[in-house]
Structure 1
Amino acid sequence: MCGLLGFIAAHGSAEKYADAISAALPCMHHRGPDESGTWHDDAVCFGFNRLSIIDIAHSHQPLQWGPAGEPDRYALTFNGEIYNYVELREELQGLGYHFATEGDGETIVAGFHHWGTDVVHHLRGMFGFAVWDKVKQSLFVARDQFGIKPMYYATTAQGTVFASEKKCILAMAEDIGLRLDVDLRALEHYTDLQYVPEPESLHAGIRRLESGSYATIQPGQQPQLHRWFDPKFPVRQVAPHDREAVFAKIAEALEDSVAKHMRADVTVGSFLSGGIDSTAIATLAKRHNPNLLTFTTGFERQGYSEVDVAAESAAAIGAKHIVKVVSPEEFAAAVPKIMWYLDDPVADPALVPLYFVAAEARKHVKVVLSGEGADELFGGYTIYKEPLSLAAFERVPSPLKKILARVGSALPDGVRGKSLLERGTTPIEARYYGNARSFNYAQLERVLRLARPEWDHREVTAPIYARSAQMDPVARMQHLDLFTWLRGDILVKADKITMANSLELRVPFLDKVVFDVAETLPVDLKVSNGTTKYALRQAMERIVPPHVLHRKKLGFPVPIRHWLAGPELYDWAQQIIRDSQTDDLLNKAEILQMLEEHRAAMTTGSGPDHSRRLWTILAFMVWYGIFVEKRITPEIDQKEYPVQL
């Protein structure tokens, strides 16, 4: 829902920037095509694009609100949804507060007046919002605990600008004296991890407010950052006879979450793949919408589609199902516009089919539910089994472990036991870096001209690991993924790509109440009996159709390894590399060689699969062509491309 843009002037006279705010707002017209508005006083200027979902006729923004005796003390601009707003409003009304709308935004402001910065702990939902207090001359900017909704900011001598999309800040750069150099450290992190990790962006002067954080800003001051959400995973052991109660508690929490996520004054549909996560959400959603529409996407190439399984699931729950099949030609043509909408590249090819299924869904509904977050909360990744297989090494004395490490290192590649010895003698902090890493350092040096060893992935993961030292190994991996892969890849594409189509995506697994249950699960209820998400599967046994209960999730798999080597994308990729003006950053001769090596490997069946590494580079090159070279103009609605960035 919606897109916000704001500016707090360092020395007053915010009205000088009102025209710049108005001019930049169309850059995210897609986030809120229903209406647009601005507001300012001497210190701040707010802009807003609205996608009307709740209280359509009345909850306009920017919103002014004040308690009795202080009318219009506060101004709010808010992106997201607060799913417990009905309960919060009733609570606040009981405390004497009055409301002029039936929307969720007003509860944020009243809650902020009553609870102060602790209001974030009362909110159940996804959000990025800003509240200006005229009396205290202070701005409060906050983001939800998981980072479902984005928030960018930049500070110069003129003040601090903040926005739901970086494009708006780029459009205002000249007005506020902001330099737009490429951040070389962020580029290395991106190339290493396939996404730009928070709080970085690829523009050195623009940062992101991290998930589960808030900032307080006063005129002329730097933002003061605070983390309000830092999960501890306080695991509780569960006796065998108590397991059924735990499964019931999970089902109850998820049912309640889906019910709250269905709150809307518009039609809500659901994405549906072939796995348990989206199927569970769709099945529960069907209870609240008998005419539920479900949507999936796939490719014609065999082995890269869950269309048939999704259709079977839709039939089993009685939902009308809509499918979008994506061709290689559509795939390639969509990449520039997708990079435009993303603001920073994400090297996940699943973005492309997501873009098309979102576009199809928007023809029918304004809101969809999806299954993101279940893997991180309930232990769904296969790699989470690794600590169990390496548990014996924890009992090995350090001197012997060092000897075993040397033995493992000396063994030739491919020798049985080498990988086990190397993994078992390597600390988890060095071994596990999240769910994506395109390059090892030797490969990184091959393509990235300015690679520096101190900027590798451990620079990103070490501070996160430092906060999880007391957790068990599986919980540490989950904790790391919450602050890397989930917010860096999954939630970026979930927000940016659906909002590109003016479609709101809601993620019921990433809910305060659901997380409170999942956070306490012991390891044997996450990975157990040879499966992942064990407790969730047991909880959903009476809910989801049997054919998906123990099926491995594929999501939206993409055949790029074949396409990059064949007539579908090989020439396209080669042209992007040759045309790109990134010679000072990337070794294009090496990248072209990688493309040839990949083509040969796919042709002969022997050799390296460079597809994910190539896709990481190609995504950056397209991004660079749009935002730095300004050579590539995405084929999008010109309402959204009004300013030369």
Structure 2
Amino acid sequence: MCGLLSMLTTSGNAEDYVPALEAALPCMRHRGPDAAGTWHDDDAAFGFNRLAIIDIEHSDQPLRWGPADNPQRYALTFNGEIYNYVELREELQAAGYTFNTEGDGEPIVVGYHHWGEDVVNHLRGMFGFVIWDSETRTMFAARDQFGIKPLYYATTAAGTVFASEMKCILEMADAIGLDLSLDKRAIEHYVDLQYVPEPESLHANIRRVESGSTVTLRPGEQVSSQRYFTPRFPVQHVPTGQEQQLFDRIARALEDSVEKHMRADVTVGSFLSGGIDSTAIAALAKRHNPNLLTFTTGFEREGYSEVDVAAESAAAIGVEHIVKIVSPEEYAAAIPRIMWYLDNPVADPSLVPLYFVAQEARKHVKVVLSGEGADELFGGYTIYKEPLSLAPFDKVPDPLRRGLGKLSQVLPDGMKGKSLLERGSMTMEERYYGNARSFNFEQLQRVLPWATRDWDHREVTAPIYAESRDFDPVARMQHLDLFTWMRGDILVKADKMNMANSLELRVPFLDKEVFKVAETIPHDLKISHGTTKYALRKAMEQIVPPHVLHRKKLGFPVPMRHWLAGDELFSWAQDTINDSQTEDIFNKPEVLEMLKEHRDGISDHSRRLWTVLAFMVWHGIFVEGRIDPQIEQRDYPVKL
């Protein structure tokens, strides 16, 4: 787990940009405090910050490799972990190749020489990498199948820069002549969705390589992505009496994934909340590390803590458990720091406790496992039950359905049945765009008066839905979430909050071998017997303690509704709005009125307010330069 910064120049003058590259590297030192290095030739300049996990004494980057007739042909910068690197090394050695390190990065570049661009289909892991081939003058970049690791890029007349963090590109903006104008469409998307959807960023000229995609370019060319992985959930059926075979396959796949994810030359711990996902991972990890440490976080406010359940789970599986309690004061003080680490805002309050539990874990371990991805792969969100409740509407003629929708609009808010009629009158493409809706269009215009009426969430979701026409309804929702909520929110906060603390987070559910099993689960074994993730729960019956097996997922719940209405965060929120120089973006009097309505109990605006507040803090750091994120410079030992 590291941070890369690579540039392909237009005019063969890479040496001229090395000083700017070296000056930009320290801003992502948190991604790799163990070592740093640079390399360049005429066309390309590479920089790297390393967090040493495997082959600690060697495998520094930028990594050079080549065949016997040109041993320095390739240069590699690589962020992530390849969990099948041992098997890849053996396969490539059998094909006659030699290796200079014992690390997991070298098999990528050797594999690229052997398989070409198809190397990505041989990799089992999380990655963002850039390879320069000095012989063909070709740069090849790629991101892992699910988008666990980030990869930003920007192109100007000077060339193209790739980076693990957007702030590195911002640091190089003057040197490469990059226009840092904001993207108003991306701002609309963010305010409505609570995250910036890929491939956008809030800066119009900085973009992201999408999950499961590659880029090939030569000097002077524009970036053009090619998708190599698209998750599929084809309609499946399991014959009666053969369900247990499926459950056993799930258990075997997950156990194998956890075993591979435990590969490291440093200590590996695990996050542990009160739900089945993290508990399953921790219980399986315990089999490979009897001294496993687990970590959780919570709040002092009753009802907003997984601490007691997590402690009970830790005792049941026999692991040492460490808890971090976050106070409202700590929470508020950390917000500017967290927005700096995020690069683009994510309006998910749970990323703050994640930051603190990562900070605590880093005192003890260098790698943690976590349960991200289980909901998307196995059908874990409660909203996935909706197609069952709305099934009767599918039999209603379309004109009558539309009429029911109009009727719902005249019913009083809060009236029983209003929401059911409203949602039942719409198609899935119209009503569902993930877990993150906070504003309807009228509310959006209240805070974004310039918001265009032609904006619709389908601008983001329609191309994704088009790929899933033949899927069952639950699978269509899963497929959408893999491309929106998961990679826009879940994986961004997982990467950024842990890397902020120089802690590598690994997600065994998001493994391509686990997905090969998950994609075969029929919808009636995902949502069944009144619960979600039914097949996963059955697969984990002998692994997860009974008190967790059917417990509702909570993650790290945050008492944001109470804090924004009370002494904890109301004054902070009011000051943030008043001080923000975002009058050209937000209708600040309306935002202040929403805050007052929330305090007075007229309406729960907590999600909408947090979306705006997160952006205002981000804007104060990256655009106004008014807010100091107060980043701490930490020196960690190489080994833990």
TM-score (norm 1): 0.97
- The answer (yes or no) to whether the contact 1:189–1:456 under 8 Å persists in 2 is no
Q: Which residue identity does 1:622 align to in structure 2? A: V
Q: Give 1:254's aligned residue.
A: 254
Partner Cα distance (2:402, 2:611) in 1 = 35
Deviation at 1:204, TM superposition (A): 0.8
- The answer (yes or no) to whether the contact 2:401–2:426 under 8 Å persists in 1 is no
2:512 aligned with 1:517? no
Q: Give 1:38's aligned residue.
A: 38
Partner Cα distance (1:344, 1:378) in 2 = 28
Deviation at 1:494, TM superposition (A): 0.2
Over residues 360-391 of structure 1, what are the superposed CA-to-partner deviations in whole Å (9 max), with x where a residue is unaligned? 00000000000000000000000000111112
Q: Give 1:444's aligned residue.
A: 444
Deviation at 1:437, TM superposition (A): 1.3
Q: Give 1:360's aligned residue.
A: 360
Deviation at 1:639, TM superposition (A): 8.2
Partner Cα distance (1:67, 1:29) in 2 = 32
Q: Give 1:643's aligned residue.
A: none
Partner Cα distance (1:456, 1:637) in 2 = 40
Partner Cα distance (1:380, 1:6) in 2 = 38
Q: Which residue identity does 1:111 align to in structure 2? A: G
Over residues 56-108 of structure 1, what are the superposed CA-to-partner deviations in whole Å (9 max), with x where a residue is unaligned? 11111001111232211111000000000101111111111111111111100
2:277 aligned with 1:277? yes
- The answer (yes or no) to whether the contact 1:151–1:163 under 8 Å persists in 2 is yes
1:31-180 to 2 correspondences below 5 Å: 31-180=31-180
Which range moves more in the overlay, 393-402 or 376-385? 393-402
Partner Cα distance (2:409, 2:567) in 1 = 40
Partner Cα distance (2:180, 2:496) in 1 = 22
- The answer (yes or no) to whether the contact 1:188–1:456 under 8 Å persists in 2 is no
2:595 aligned with 1:608? no
- The answer (yes or no) to whether the contact 1:262–1:268 under 8 Å persists in 2 is yes
Over residues 513-549 of structure 1, what are the superposed CA-to-partner deviations in whole Å (9 max), with x where a residue is unaligned? 0011101211111000100000000000000111100
Equivalent of 1:624 in 593, 604, 619: 619
1:193-592 to 2 correspondences below 5 Å: 193-592=193-592
Uncovered stretches (5+) of structure 1, i.e. residues with no partner: 602-606, 641-645
Over residues 89-132 of structure 1, what are the superposed CA-to-partner deviations in whole Å (9 max), with x where a residue is unaligned? 11111111111111111100111111111111110000000011
- The answer (yes or no) to whether the contact 1:74–1:134 under 8 Å persists in 2 is yes
CA change 1:406–1:581 in 2 (3 A) is closer
- The answer (yes or no) to whether the contact 1:340–1:623 under 8 Å persists in 2 is yes
2:189 aligned with 1:189? yes
Secondary structure of 2:39's aligned partner: strand
Secondary structure of 2:81's aligned partner: strand
Partner Cα distance (1:438, 1:342) in 2 = 20
Partner Cα distance (1:326, 1:120) in 2 = 40
Partner Cα distance (1:214, 1:278) in 2 = 31
Deviation at 1:405, TM superposition (A): 3.6
Q: Which residue identity does 1:3 align to in structure 2? A: G
- The answer (yes or no) to whether the contact 1:4–1:47 under 8 Å persists in 2 is yes
Over residues 233-277 of structure 1, what are the superposed CA-to-partner deviations in whole Å (9 max), with x where a residue is unaligned? 123200221100000000000000000000000000000000000
Over residues 24-64 of structure 1, what are the superposed CA-to-partner deviations in whole Å (9 max), with x where a residue is unaligned? 00010000000000000101000000000000111110011
Partner Cα distance (2:634, 2:364) in 1 = 23
Which range moves more in the overlay, 532-541 or 401-410? 401-410
Deviation at 1:468, TM superposition (A): 1.3
Over residues 144-165 of structure 1, what are the superposed CA-to-partner deviations in whole Å (9 max), with x where a residue is unaligned? 0110000000000110001000
Uncovered stretches (5+) of structure 2, i.e. residues with no partner: 636-640
Over residues 488-524 of structure 1, what are the superposed CA-to-partner deviations in whole Å (9 max), with x where a residue is unaligned? 0000000001000000000000000001110121111
Partner Cα distance (1:110, 1:347) in 2 = 40
Deviation at 1:320, TM superposition (A): 0.4
- The answer (yes or no) to whether the contact 1:266–1:366 under 8 Å persists in 2 is yes
Which range moves more in the overlay, 65-74 or 426-435? 65-74
Partner Cα distance (2:321, 2:515) in 1 = 30
Partner Cα distance (1:611, 1:419) in 2 = 20
Which range moves more in the overlay, 301-310 or 399-408? 399-408
Q: Which residue identity does 1:630 align to in structure 2? A: G
- The answer (yes or no) to whether the contact 1:26–1:639 under 8 Å persists in 2 is no
Deviation at 1:413, TM superposition (A): 3.5
Identity of aligned residues (%): 74
Partner Cα distance (1:638, 1:512) in 2 = 36
Q: Compute the RMSD of aligned alpha carbons.
A: 1.2
Deviation at 1:357, TM superposition (A): 0.4
Partner Cα distance (2:27, 2:419) in 1 = 49
- The answer (yes or no) to whether the contact 1:371–1:509 under 8 Å persists in 2 is yes
Deviation at 1:232, TM superposition (A): 2.0
TM-score (norm 2): 0.98
Q: Give 1:604's aligned residue.
A: none
Which range moves more in the overlay, 41-50 or 87-96? 87-96
Q: Give 2:638's aligned residue.
A: none
Deviation at 1:449, TM superposition (A): 2.9
- The answer (yes or no) to whether the contact 2:35–2:51 under 8 Å persists in 1 is yes
Q: Which residue identity does 1:539 align to in structure 2? A: A
Secondary structure of 2:454's aligned partner: helix
Partner Cα distance (1:356, 1:630) in 2 = 25
Q: Which residue identity does 2:520 align to in structure 1? A: T
- The answer (yes or no) to whether the contact 1:27–1:639 under 8 Å persists in 2 is no
Q: Which residue identity does 2:374 align to in structure 1? A: A
Deviation at 1:472, TM superposition (A): 1.2
Partner Cα distance (1:115, 1:59) in 2 = 22
Over residues 547-600 of structure 1, what are the superposed CA-to-partner deviations in whole Å (9 max), with x where a residue is unaligned? 100000110000010011111111111011111011111111001100100000
Partner Cα distance (2:83, 2:110) in 1 = 16
- The answer (yes or no) to whether the contact 1:494–1:505 under 8 Å persists in 2 is yes
Secondary structure of 1:433's aligned partner: coil
- The answer (yes or no) to whether the contact 1:235–1:519 under 8 Å persists in 2 is no
Partner Cα distance (2:239, 2:483) in 1 = 31
- The answer (yes or no) to whether the contact 2:378–2:533 under 8 Å persists in 1 is yes
Partner Cα distance (1:183, 1:404) in 2 = 38
Partner Cα distance (1:378, 1:360) in 2 = 30
Q: Which residue identity does 1:165 align to in structure 2? A: E
Partner Cα distance (1:549, 1:275) in 2 = 8
Deviation at 1:486, TM superposition (A): 0.2
Q: Which residue identity does 2:627 align to in structure 1? A: I
Over residues 322-353 of structure 1, what are the superposed CA-to-partner deviations in whole Å (9 max), with x where a residue is unaligned? 00000000000000000000000000010111
